[in-house]
Structures are given as C-alpha cells and as structure tokens.
A and B are shown apart, each in its own frame.
Chain A
C-alpha cells in the first residue's frame, strides 16, 4: 500500500512539471507583446514598460523560467493584476466555494446516477430501464448552462422559490448556502449523473450474470440481500475509478455554472481573469486547480486499491 502511494505520488511529478511548463508557456504565447496585451489599448508606452518590468517579461526567457520555478518552490504563484493580491491567497479564498459546490453536485450525481443505474439493471429491458436510460441520455445531452438557465427561468423567475444568483457562505448560514447552491449543483450534476447511470447499469448487469450471484440466489438468500451485499459491492468497484473522472468533469463544469449563477468560486475568478486579461492570475490559477485535480485523482486511485485487493497486489 505504501509502495503504491509512493509510486502514484512519484508519477505525478512529471505530469505536474509539464503542467507548470504549459502554464508558464501560455502567457508567452500571446501574439505580439504580452505586456501591451495585458495593459490594454489605452495604456501609455511608459505603463507598458513598467508592467513588462513588473512581470519580469524583460528578462531572457530562461531567467524568467528560473524565476518562475523559484517562485513556485517558495509558494509564490504570482500576483493577480485585477485583485492586487497573490494568486495563492485569491485561490485559497475562492477554491472552497468551488469544492463545496462540486461536493454537493457529486452527492447528487452519486444518488441519481447509481440509483438509476441499479434500477435499470434490475429491471433490464422493461419500461423502467428504458425510461432510466432515456433520462440518462437527456442528462448527457443537455448543456449544463442551458439546464441552469431553464432552472432559473422556472424556479427563480416564474415560481420565485430559489434565488437566481448570489452566494451565502455555509459558515454564515447553512440554510442560505443550500438555497444559493441547490440550482447550481443540480444543473452541474445532471450530465455526470447520466454518465454514471449508464456505467452503473452495465457494471451491475455484468456482475448479476456471475456464478456467485446464482449461487447466492440458489441457496435461498432473499433478493434484497443478494443485490445489496453480493452484487452491489462488486459492481461499485469499477464505479470508483469513474469518480475521479466525474470530479474532474464537475470542477471543469463548475466554471460555467459559477459564471451563470455568479457564485464567487474558482471558476468565476478565472473567467473574470480571462475576460480582464489578468494573465498572471490565469497562469497561477490554472496550475493550482490542475495540481488540486491531480491530487484528487491520486486519492481516488488509492481508494480504488483499498477497495479492490487485486489492484493492491498487482
């Protein structure tokens, strides 16, 4: 187990190294003069020169790279031009909002996705199965921002049940938090729930065909216990690997959802940074979010190994 953990941590190093290089290269890819692009059209040549110096863009590329990595090792991910504070501080402020939203959406995804998948598998080829799979198909085909807009039109504009935007921190008012994040979480979760329902169904069908399920049934165990104890625990194993992908999709989807519902998370922060040409924020924020995602995936891999001994001893 410790060997496995060390190995996955070690394999993350080259990935993070290349991720950081790409983030570094991104700002240098701006056609023309990056400093002029960041400063905007109305900037004077003096302001542009000042900005170039502030961002270290006047140094040779290798020196810039060395400074970039020295910064990273000291926990300096750059300074946001728009917010006037460190990228790390801004991320630390905003990331929890995104994580809370993603967790909420993950819970919805797991309940709807696994529930639909199991019910569909147990009633294979019945109308229940077809309805569940139709629902899954709609889920993976509706863009989450469109679903969000429809929910706003229905629940906020027409019915007035939920606020159409804005954010209440959980620590201040849990009920308010639930109200402000329920629509975003549902609109974010549906796509992943559709994917998960399809995967759960096929994984469950695969398991239900195994001999040990027939044996369990043959020795007279009640149907519920066969399904819950024998089938589900094995069918869930491949599903755990998918959770890593789902978390990645949720964090990616949160960008749009946050922009739509004006939730002050990482997605909104980066979208605004992009629209305001705050490239240091984009560069640092992208790196931090990706590093976070890589660690989530390592955690999921380890969880997989805990659940499935076959992986542990491979």
Chain B
C-alpha cells in the first residue's frame, strides 16, 4: 500500500463539508423544503396575491376554497389566500427579528456571564428569574403593558427568549474557557476581546445555530398564540393567529377559515423543527438523539 505522502491531497473546505453533510441529511432537507415554501410565499407576497388582504366584499363572504378566490373568503368576504400569504410575511418578519435580537443579545449576555466570572452570578440570577415566568404569560403581560403592535410583539418575545439563548451560549463558553488552547492564548498575552472573538465564540456558534432554528419555530408559534388571544398585531393586519381567532365564530359554516391558516402555521413550525433536528445532528453531534 502507498504511504501517506502518495495520497493526493484533497482539501475540502470544512464549511463545504458541513454543507454537504447537511444536504445529505433527510430531516434537514425535508425541513428546508417545508420552511422554504412558506418563506418564498412570504417574500413573494406582493406578486402572488392580487387582492388587498383587507378589501371587503360582503357579497362574497364565506366562499369555500377552490374557484376564483383560491382559498375562499372569510366573514367579511376578504380573500383568505391574500390574508394567509400576508400573514406569512408578518410571521417571518417577527420570527426573523426575534432570532436576530436573540443572536446579538443572547450572545452578548451569555458570553459575558460565561467568560467573566464576576458577572456570572448577577446575570444568571436575572436570567433565572425571567425564565421562571411561564413564557406565554410573560409575553402577554409585556405586550399588554407596551400596547399591542408588531414591534411590541417582537420585543416581548425577545424578552422571553433571550435568557434561554444566553443560557446556552454561557454553557458552551464556560467549557471553552477552560480549554488548553484558550489558556495558551491567555499565556501568549491575548486580551479578553481577542480571546472571546477569535477563540471562544467561533466554537460556540454551532449549538447557537441549532438553538436559533428552534427559536424561530417558538417565535412563530408564540406570535400566532398572542394574536389569537388578541394581544398581537392589531387587526385588520392579517396574522395567522387573528385570522383563526376571527374564524372561531363561524366554525360551523366556514371551518376553512381556521383550518387553512392552522395548517400553514403547522407546516412552518414543522419545517423549522425538522431543520433544527438536522442542524443539531450535523453541527452538534453531542446533542444528537440517537438514530
């Protein structure tokens, strides 16, 4: 057999290798597919709907799905297709914003608590307190105090979920801080910022990405729940939650007002959950649920 030197050197960039493994992962690909459909629908909302989601047409109320109105109409004769598609856009905007805020503040708080021991106790006590509240109740209380609006839903959900993200970042930072290569960097005279930025955080990214994909699912679900309860974005702005809430009074004669947004919401959440499972298996094998 040949020596090691004879083997032609094939360098595959680690990022490409990871991507390759992701796209061979069945759960990840099916999740990406489901979530992709909804994301594209949300992004293309102005192009794939021709009726204003708030245009009333009392003559055409309670039309069943199929026919000229695609998914039928609601109690005011508004096009359900338009409302569900624009609702998708709002869900995606809220989900993505909560994820972005979590990525920034969850990392900052988690890294500070995990790296600087003096801050750890104080930050984590506040974190524990925020996590002690039942999630939905805290979100409802915050939106009710700030007033119902899209921005306030984003803020409320961020307040609820950032402590959870910070906790995950903190636990990987605590492990990484004690690694020998980090001690070596300290010995070589690297500053705190440099150590965090170059040696610790890049290695804490994987569990973070996994967490954020599940977080997207929770955020979309919670947003729907808040608007279902009447403390989300203000009607007539269509959200999946308030479409379903309005459909409650007509579930005998027009059950599709509830089932259509519900199924779309379910597809979104399931896509994100599958995506998260796939990412976890590939990026963070320690957390892997045995296959």
Binding site for B on A (CB under 8 A): 14-19, 22, 26-27, 29-31, 125, 137-138, 140-143, 145-146, 149-150, 152-153, 157, 198, 201-202, 205-206, 248-249, 251-253, 255-256, 259, 267, 270-271, 274-275, 277, 279, 282, 286, 289-290, 293-294, 297
Q: Given that A14-B125, A140-B273, A141-B269 are contacting pairs, would A255 and B147 also be in contact in the complex, using a CB cutoff of 8 Å?
A: no
Verify A30–B134 contact, CB threshold 8 A. Answer: no
Verify B137–A150 contact, CB threshold 8 A. Answer: no
Verify A251–B251 contact, CB threshold 8 A. Answer: no
Q: Given that A27-B145, A149-B258, A271-B229 are contacting pairs, would A252 and B126 also be in contact in the complex, using a CB cutoff of 8 Å?
A: no
Chain B residues with CB under 8 A of A252:
134-137
Chain A residues with CB under 8 A of B273:
137, 140-141
Q: Given that A143-B265, A293-B134 are contacting pairs, would A255 and B258 also be in contact in the complex, using a CB cutoff of 8 Å?
A: no
Q: Given that A15-B129, A201-B289, A275-B230 are contacting pairs, would A143 and B136 also be in contact in the complex, using a CB cutoff of 8 Å?
A: no
Binding site for A on B (CB under 8 A): 125-126, 128-130, 132-138, 140-142, 144-147, 217, 221, 224-225, 228-231, 244, 248, 251-252, 255, 258-259, 262, 265-266, 269-270, 273-274, 289-291
Verify B265–A274 contact, CB threshold 8 A. Answer: no
- Please report whether the interface of chain A is mostly helix, strand, loop or mixed according to DSSP: helix
Chain B: CB-nearest residue to A205: B290
Chain A residues with CB under 8 A of B270:
137-138, 141
Cα A279 to Cα B229 in complex, Å, equals 17
Chain A residues with CB under 8 A of B217:
141
Verify B129–A256 contact, CB threshold 8 A. Answer: no
Verify A251–B129 contact, CB threshold 8 A. Answer: no
Cα A248 to Cα B141 in complex, Å, equals 17
Verify B133–A145 contact, CB threshold 8 A. Answer: no
Contact of B141 among A140, A201, A274 (CB under 8 A): A274
Contact of A146 among B128, B137, B252, B265 (CB under 8 A): B265
Given contacts A125-B291, A150-B259, A286-B137, 11 further A-B contacts (CB under 8 A): A18-B125, A18-B126, A18-B129, A22-B133, A26-B141, A27-B145, A30-B145, A150-B262, A253-B136, A255-B136, A274-B140
Give me 30 A-to-B residue pairs in the complex whose CB atoms sit less than 8 angstroms apart, sorted by A's number.
A14-B125, A14-B129, A16-B129, A18-B128, A19-B132, A137-B274, A140-B269, A141-B217, A141-B273, A142-B269, A143-B221, A143-B225, A145-B225, A145-B244, A146-B262, A149-B244, A150-B259, A153-B259, A249-B135, A255-B134, A255-B140, A256-B225, A256-B228, A259-B229, A270-B137, A274-B140, A277-B144, A286-B141, A289-B137, A297-B132
Q: Nearest chain B CB to A281's CB is how many angstroms away?
A: 11
Contact of A153 among B126, B258, B291 (CB under 8 A): B258
Chain B residues with CB under 8 A of A293:
132-134
Contact of A145 among B125, B138, B141, B228 (CB under 8 A): B228
Cα A249 to Cα B160 in complex, Å, equals 13
Verify A146–B244 contact, CB threshold 8 A. Answer: yes
Cα A255 to Cα B228 in complex, Å, equals 12
Verify A142–B266 contact, CB threshold 8 A. Answer: yes
Cα A5 to Cα B231 in complex, Å, equals 39
Cα A271 to Cα B137 in complex, Å, equals 8
Chain B residues with CB under 8 A of A274:
140-141, 144, 231
Cα A17 to Cα B125 in complex, Å, equals 10
Q: Nearest chain A CB to B102's CB is how many angstroms away?
A: 18
Cα A282 to Cα B137 in complex, Å, equals 9
Which of B258, B259, B290, B291 lies at the interface centre, i.e. has the most chain A CB atoms within 10 A of its CB?
Answer: B290
Verify B130–A152 contact, CB threshold 8 A. Answer: no
Which of B145, B224, B255 lies at the interface centre, i.e. has the most chain A CB atoms within 10 A of its CB?
Answer: B145
Cα A29 to Cα B159 in complex, Å, equals 14
Verify B229–A15 contact, CB threshold 8 A. Answer: no
Chain B residues with CB under 8 A of A153:
251, 255, 258-259
Cα A274 to Cα B231 in complex, Å, equals 9
Cα A69 to Cα B139 in complex, Å, equals 24
Chain A residues with CB under 8 A of B229:
255-256, 259, 271
Cα A149 to Cα B249 in complex, Å, equals 11
